[in-house]
Chains A and B, each alone.
Chain A
Amino acid sequence: MARVVVDVMPKPEILDPQGQAVANALPRLGFDGITSVRQGKHFELEVADDVDDATLAKIAETFLANPVIEDWVVRRVEA
């Protein structure tokens, strides 16, 4: 078994209301110097050894992310 991490983020050119709301709140809470926040999703998958990268990429592209508005990165990490 291996652990695979998929990070899904709104595409840079797409409006990210979630991140914007956090960014706007930070100065109100007294935290200065943060110019931008973007909010995405983090998935952790426990994956059998015979699942190849192409399959993982397909899972990310067709299911975990919405390619119309989101980018994604698939990483294998140490279990």
Chain B
Amino acid sequence: MTVDTVKNAENTPDQEQPYKELGLKDDEYARIKEILGRRPTDAELAMYSVMWSEHCSYKSSKVHLKYFSDTTTDEMRAKMLAGIGENAGVVDIGDGWAITFKAESHNHPSYVEPYQGAATGVGGIVRDILAMGARPLAVMDPLRFGPADAPDTRRVLPGIVAGVGGYGNCLGLPNIGGEVVFDATYAGNPLVNALCVGAMRVEDLHLAHASGTGNKVILFGARTGLDGIGGVSVLASETFDDSAGAGKRKKLPSVQVGDPFTEKVLIECCLELFAQRIVVGIQDLGGAGLACATSELASAGDGGMHVYLDRVPLRATGMTPAEILSSESQERMCAVVRPEDLDAFMAVCRKWDVIATEIGEVTEGDRLVITWHDEVVLDVPPRTVAHEGPVYNRPIERPADQDALQADTPDRLPKPARDELLDLVKTMAASPNLASKRWVTQQYDRYVRGGTVLAQPADSGMIRIDESTHRGVALSTDCNGRYTKLDPYAGAQLALAEAYRNVATTGATPVAVTNCLNFGSPEDPAVMWQFERAVKGLADGCVALGIPVTGGNVSFYNQTGSTAILPTPVVGVLGVIDDVRRRIPTGIGAEAGETLLLLGETRAEFGGSEWAHVVHGHLGGLPPEVDLAREKLLGEVLVAGSRDGMLSAAHDLSDGGLAQALVETCLIGEVGARVFLEGDLFTELFSESTARVLVAVPRTEELRFTDMCTARGLPWRKVGVVDPESDALEIQELGSLPLAELREAWEGTLPALFD
């Protein structure tokens, strides 16, 4: 086959190239020509187009994301070992341990092929964590779907759940949390976000760079095939427009198939390589495959790089250099190794039956040069590929209907009569967003590795990091897209506040933030406005709480036609707990004689609430008020309560309000409670005012705990008692709900829809 070489490109300056089909704009193509001083080769065009795509270059979001680092103070940065720009953020949690965590989206692939899309989403984020030098320890998956009863949801949800489970279970990583949320805007645009957390000793942190002239570049893991190169196949058809094979390939779907077994072996192989200290730099291969890995490794190092592309082990025949560079075959890593360590490196790979190939070396100078059977097919300054891509200042415009949306408050909605409230508790508990997600989570292994202290349906997932000191971490991801639609700035802060509160509710101190920002098209000024406001809100919120954003991910173009998804900035908060044995569980009834206290204040806040959504299908008004100072105080009180053993259970109040929190804490604890409320009972039960937590306090600790709340200025109120003898949730003045009936309502919904 003939291959488009640099020499050929110099000789054929006027050859037409399919840059538009590859997603490049006229000015972007012109800039590539300017950088190179000639037209790009096919391989160069493939590399630039994929690296300058929205997904890899963050060209629409970059100018806004800068606000995260601009607002991060030195004090917030104190515990950060690596931040935005690395594969994943890294935080020092004490005792010599560093934690790395990150979330990523795999939305569109999961709509096309739910099982494999979700599976490879898990695989990708796990390799990101591995590439930091850490052992991946747990995953969690925030998911969004169309209406629970929509036919397409029946196709998409079971496939995605099975894919998340199939891959994660086979990898041996416990799934400790996440979300399952239904909303009509996600029909056709399900969101599959995957988060992974890993741990390492502080001194073992690996950053991706290719340093040291003469060092070898090793590609190891799976072979490279035609996975996910659908986009680049236009090049093949241009170059070989008369060959039947090229025509056939043009129809290739951009689907990748994951092999979790290969990834598990790759993890163990990498960890053994790290332990032997024979890896200078390491990079995972994800989106944009080798194009991304080679250009990022080279641009982060202190020299150039030469890659012999014909050495890459292939799974398919007749692949072109452009295809090899842009293949998204899974379960591959790229390492930089000193020549003297090469034998040891290969020996470890042989032990684990991992294919490893020396594909290049670090060179003097500052060029990334790729050859194909001795002919140069790519010769570029790597920074121009990886870091100096186009940056857009997209138009931003507050949507014309935003005022009308906010003016349409839930005040006009008819409220339930007093004698309807008890039934409403049950109806709400059975509604898809509030119903038990057990049907989903019981397909995930939560126990493997023996470190899981808390998992779904706990407020946050918690894992033990150190078996001798009992130090551990807690993680929660949250986002209410309806709140964010009503007010993107406040909505992002509410997502942050809830994740922060969830972590504190289990007794851990929140220390760091990651995000996965899912939005519609950046070419829509209204979407860009949502995005800009959400980023500002999240960053300002982090400053108020004093914890840094250590990394994140942006997913644009989540829309069907002109209808975008609810803006969904998923926020993940990491917390540290000195001793996981002091964790606070979610279910009541662990201690004999507990008092139920409601911490925080309740106002009549129903804008964007689950009640307005379920009962009236209404979305309008303003979301609940944000009070980050109060969230911080609440967090401190919860952590103090955990440390001093004053709390026997705690559960965050969020979607569905106090009613839902009561239902869940009783059902999880398998014990009844008697509740007495004051004021307007509808507001008491269903308002979604934030900065509130329901806690159970052993009677012996009640006074000590309430004195502490009073002294610190945290409002508290006694709302009931746990009744170990009772098998019902009794709400004074309203009546009694048998737990069996509540359980049927809460746990019956998802099996009825998806079994």
Contact = CB atoms under 8 A, between A and B. Distances in A.
Contact of A69 (B257, B259, B316): B257
Interface of A: 10, 12-17, 20-21, 24, 66, 68-69
A20 B353 CA distance: 13
B664 to A, nearest CB: 37
A68 B253 contact: yes
B259 A13 contact: no
Nearest to B316: A13
Given A13-B226, A15-B315, A69 B262 contact: no
B355 to A, nearest CB: 10
A66 B113 contact: yes
Contacts of B116: 69
B193 interface: no
Interface of B: 112-113, 116, 222, 225-227, 249, 252-253, 255-259, 261-262, 315-316, 329-330, 353
A17 B255 contact: no
Contacts of B252: 13
A65 to B, nearest CB: 13
A66 B112 CA distance: 11
B112 A17 contact: no
A15 B261 contact: no
A15 B253 contact: no
B254 to A, nearest CB: 10
A2 B249 CA distance: 36
Contact of A15 (B112, B225, B249): B225
A17 B113 contact: no
10 contacts: A14-B225, A14-B227, A14-B255, A15-B222, A15-B258, A15-B315, A17-B258, A68-B112, A68-B253, A69-B116
A14 B253 CA distance: 10
Contacts of A66: 113
Contacts of B329: 15
Contacts of A13: 225-227, 249, 252, 316
A13 B255 CA distance: 10
Nearest to B222: A15
Contact of B113 (A10, A21, A24, A68): A68
Given A13-B225, A15-B258, A17-B258, 15 more contacts: A10-B257, A12-B316, A13-B227, A14-B225, A14-B255, A15-B225, A17-B257, A17-B259, A17-B261, A17-B262, A24-B353, A68-B113, A68-B253, A68-B255, A69-B116
Nearest to A10: B257
A15 B257 contact: yes
A15 B259 contact: yes
Nearest to A24: B353
A18 B629 CA distance: 54
Nearest to A28: B353
A15 B353 contact: no
B658 to A, nearest CB: 45
A17 B315 CA distance: 12
A8 to B, nearest CB: 15
B225 A21 contact: no
A14 B255 CA distance: 8
A52 to B, nearest CB: 26
Nearest to A14: B257
Contacts of B112: 68
Contacts of B227: 13-15
A12 B319 CA distance: 14
Contacts of A17: 257-259, 261-262
Query: For A13, A15, A66, which residue has the most chain B Cβ atoms within 10 angstroms?
Result: A15
Contacts of A68: 112-113, 253, 255
A24 B353 CA distance: 9
A69 B222 contact: no
A21 B113 CA distance: 23
Contacts of B353: 24
A55 B225 CA distance: 34
A15 to B, nearest CB: 4
Nearest to B115: A66
Nearest to A66: B113
A62 B106 CA distance: 24
A57 B123 CA distance: 34
A69 B226 contact: no
Contacts of A14: 225, 227, 255, 257
A14 B116 CA distance: 11
A68 B256 CA distance: 10
B124 to A, nearest CB: 15
Nearest to B262: A17
